[in-house]
Structure formats: C-alpha cells, structure tokens
Structure 1
Amino acid sequence: MLSPAKILDDLQASDPGRPRLTWYDDEPGPTQGERIELSARVLANWVAKAANLLQDDLAAEPGTTVGLDLPTHWRAAYWALATWSVGATVVTGDEAIESDVLVTDDPTRAAAHGGDAVLVTLAALARSHPDAGMAPNAVDEARELSTHGDVFTPFADPEAGDVALVADGASTPYGALVTSQSPWGPRPRVAVAAPLPEALTATLAAWCADGSVVLSRGPAAGTAARHAAEGVTATYRAAH
C-alpha cells in the first residue's frame, strides 16, 4: 500500500529541497495575493508538528475522524497529511463538523463543536487567530503548533481497508487513496484548482510521480501566464 506518509518520505529522499507545493491565494480577503512555496523538507516539518498535536494532545489514531472545515489551501494540505500520518480519517464538506476532531478557520464552529477543535489562521505569518477568544477551548494553531516536535512516529499504522477520506458521503480506503495519473508523465508540475477533496487526491497523484503542484483558489486561478511562470506541465480542474 502506497500511503501518503510513504509518499512524503519518498519526496524527501528524492530531493528534499525541491518545491513540492506552491500556493497562490487569489480569493478576495485578507490573504489575497499570498504566494507560499513548500519544499518536501518544509512540508514534512509542518506535517510532523500537526501529526504530533493530533496524536499527543487530541488522541487521534486509526478510527478517529478529523473534519477539515477549511478551503482548498496549503494549510489544509498539511492537516490532511497529518491526519493520514496518524492513520485517522479525513472528513470534508458538511460532515466535517460532526467529526471527533474539527480543524476549522471558523471560530464560531470551533466553539460549538462538542469534541476537540483546532482553530486555524489562514494567513501565512499569523502568530495567533484574531478571534481565538471566541473559542477558548479550541487549540489556537498559530500559537501552539510550533511547540510540537519536528519528527513524528505513529503509534499505529492504518490498514489498507481503513477509511482514509470521506467526501460527499463517499468513503475512500487507504488502499485506494493514492492513484497515479499516467498522462501526466514523470515528475509533473500540476496546476490544481478544485474543491478540497479533489485537490488533495490530485496532489497525492502528482507527488506519487515525484512531481509537484501549484495549488490555488479564487478568480485568477489557472491563468496561462502563471502556468508558464511556474513551469506547469499538466492541469487538474474539478470534475463538476
């Protein structure tokens, strides 16, 4: 079984310094115009910290559901990888708020959640969520994530039949989560503009071919000039 954790290890072994995720935020709002670039080494560091938080502080493990109430975003990518690193289940869409652990950028939903919640600030350089006081029992990711370790060792690994992703009511097991996209060829540079669950699976497909992704959201996503500047070799758009 080719797991997301194994893919991340392979990316680091292949070339830890090569950009693997480039993020553009074109959505109107406070983060509009951000461009973030993550190498395999930097991405693995974010994933390890988030996975340690999930496992050590929130007791996440195989069978735990982790709701990602986040837009398509670079932060959602490392939270998904962290969830898969502990062997838990990523839940997206409306079902996310019913999960054991809720990872959200909405302080109202974080405060209302009956279980554990992590409040995420989307801005790249944030040191705390501006409205963290509205959800005093939630983990303020921007304030607390940096205190967790840079190396992660799971207590348990998922089985191939364990559920890895729940999206639109459909479940995908770990054994079927990573699929190759042969038309992309080796080491593709894939531009991805899609809802979160599709963006996550497309990103995994690019990485399993030793490639990278240009992830974006907003009205300017997918312009020809940007694709040319980023060396894009393939594109992935939402199926519907």
Structure 2
Amino acid sequence: MTGALFPADVLARLVASDSGRPRLTWYDDVSGPTSGERIELSARVLSNWVAKAGNLLQDDCAAGPGTTVGLDVPAHWRGVYWALATWSVGATVVLGGAAADSDVLVTTDPPTAAAHGGDALLVSLPALARAHPEAADAGGAVDEAKELSTHGDQFTPMSDPERGDLALSVDGLDTTYADLVVLRAEWGATPRVAVDDHLQALLATCLSAWAADGSVVAMRGSSAVDPDALGRRLHSEGVTLPLLAR
C-alpha cells in the first residue's frame, strides 16, 4: 500500500525515534579505491549530510519545487543523501538516461560535469575524500568533497512540495511525492533489509524500511563476494529480509 509520508517526514521520524541507531550500513565490494569500505550512518549523521546537501542545492543552485536534479552516481550511500536532499528542497530526482539533462547534475564523472550546461556537483565516493583528484577537469563544477562541509547542519526548506509534485523520474516513469514512500506491511516492524541492486532500488528500499522504523544494509558489488562470506555478513548484521539481486 502507499502512504502519504514524504521523505523529509520519514527522516524526521528516524531522528525522533532513535537518532543514534544505525539506519544505513554500507559495504563496498567493488574493486577500486573504495573497496572494503564499511560505513554506518545513524539517523543523526544521515540527517546532517542531508541538511548540508539540501542547503547547497537551495542556496547555491536555487533548487526547489519544479527543479530537476539528475543523479549520475552508483548505488552508493552518497547517492542516498543526495536524493534525500533533493526531496528536502521539494525538487525532482532524475535517474537514468535523462539525468544529464537535468537542471542540476550530481555526478562522479568529471567530463560529464564539464559538459553539463547548468549547475554541476562533482562527487567523490571514498568516505574520507577531501577533494576530487580530477576536479580540474570538471569545468568549474562544485567539488562536493571540498565544499559540502561549509554548508549548515540544519535545513529549512523555502518551499514544500505538494502531493502531486513530481518526486522521481526514471526513464520516463514518473512518481509523485504522494506515491514515493511505499509502506510494506509484509516487512513487519523495524525490518533490517539487505539490498545490492541499482540506485533506484536502494532508494525505494531505504524509504520503505525507514517508514517502518527499520534499517538497511546496502552492498555495492556483492556478487563478487563468496556466498559463505556473504551469508556470514548477513547474519552478523542481523538482516531480517535479504532482497539481493544475485
């Protein structure tokens, strides 16, 4: 069934319920500079990231209802807070092929940032990044790793979205704010859900799990993990619902 909660409501409830409890646990199993990372985000920490990103979008990009924000990022914890920040300002998250044509583009790729005609934000995936190593090739895009920390820890939207406003667009399939947060009674109360799929699935899983006061274990590249090791991981994390694409 579909509820009337907006993403900002879901996040506020998590903070009010238990601000220190881990709500998003992240594993990166993709070969590269972030391989082996495990990150835990409590509701308080997640809210802080969302506030900073929301302030950047609202203050520097004039984003609000009617603005499209393309997310050209993998299924990653940074993509989660950028989506939540976009919804906090009442704008539209765009995924898929049309992301590059959005008013604001959030991307990990410097050439894509340089080619964008509007506001572009260059994202570094490593948890401890302080600057993107190829920022000079991004055509003046905002280097998130350098600039995000300068924005405020509290966020107040200048405008709130309406129920019928467009919240998510994925390759021509549109979802309004009223239909974005799907309540899944079959998951039970406080589920701990594991997911390893693309960004759209990760976002949907987070919203549904959090709406039930639950949490998410997200894994990027888990298909490369030995099945026995993956089973031990899921057990140690207390996963109650594995939604794995492998």
How would you bin the TM-score normalised by the shorter chain?
over 0.9
> Aligned with 1:180: secondary structure?
coil
Work out the CA distance in 1 between the residues paired with 2:232 and 2:35.
18
Q: Which letter maps to 1:34? A: E
- The partner residue of 2:242 within 226, 235, 238 is 235
Q: Tell me the CA shift for residue 180 of structure 1.
A: 1.3
Report runs of 4+ in structure 1 exceeding 6 Å deviation.
Answer: none
Q: Tell me the CA shift for residue 237 of structure 1.
A: 3.6
> Aligned with 1:114: secondary structure?
coil
Q: Is structure 2 residue 232 aligned with structure 1 residue 225? A: yes
Name structure 1 gaps, 5 residues minimum: none
Work out the CA distance in 1 between the residues paired with 2:224 and 2:13.
32
Work out the CA distance in 2 between the residues paired with 1:87 and 1:33.
34
Name structure 2 gaps, 5 residues minimum: none
Work out the CA distance in 2 between the residues paired with 1:45 and 1:220.
32
Q: What residue in structure 2 maps to residue 115 of structure 1?
A: 118
Q: Which letter maps to 2:189? A: P
Q: Which letter maps to 1:168? A: D
Q: Which letter maps to 1:40? A: A
> Aligned with 1:31: secondary structure?
coil
User: What percent of counterpart residues are identical?
Assistant: 65
- The CA RMSD measured in Å over matched residues stands at 1.2
Q: Is structure 2 residue 111 aligned with structure 1 residue 104? A: no
Work out the CA distance in 1 between the residues paired with 2:140 and 2:14.
36
Q: TM-score, normalised by structure 2?
A: 0.95
Q: What residue in structure 1 maps to residue 62 of structure 2?
A: 59
Report the number of matched residues. Answer: 239
Q: Tell me the CA shift for residue 29 of structure 1.
A: 1.0
> Aligned with 2:54: secondary structure?
helix
Instruction: Tell me if structure 1 keeps the 8 A contact 2:113–2:139.
Output: no
Q: What residue in structure 2 maps to residue 172 of structure 1?
A: 175
Q: TM-score, normalised by structure 1?
A: 0.97
- The partner residue of 2:98 within 95, 100, 110 is 95
Q: Tell me the CA shift for residue 193 of structure 1.
A: 1.3
Work out the CA distance in 2 between the residues paired with 1:220 and 1:9.
35
Work out the CA distance in 2 between the residues paired with 1:119 and 1:109.
9
Q: What residue in structure 2 maps to residue 28 of structure 1?
A: 31
Q: What residue in structure 1 maps to residue 208 of structure 2?
A: 205
Q: Which letter maps to 2:98? A: E
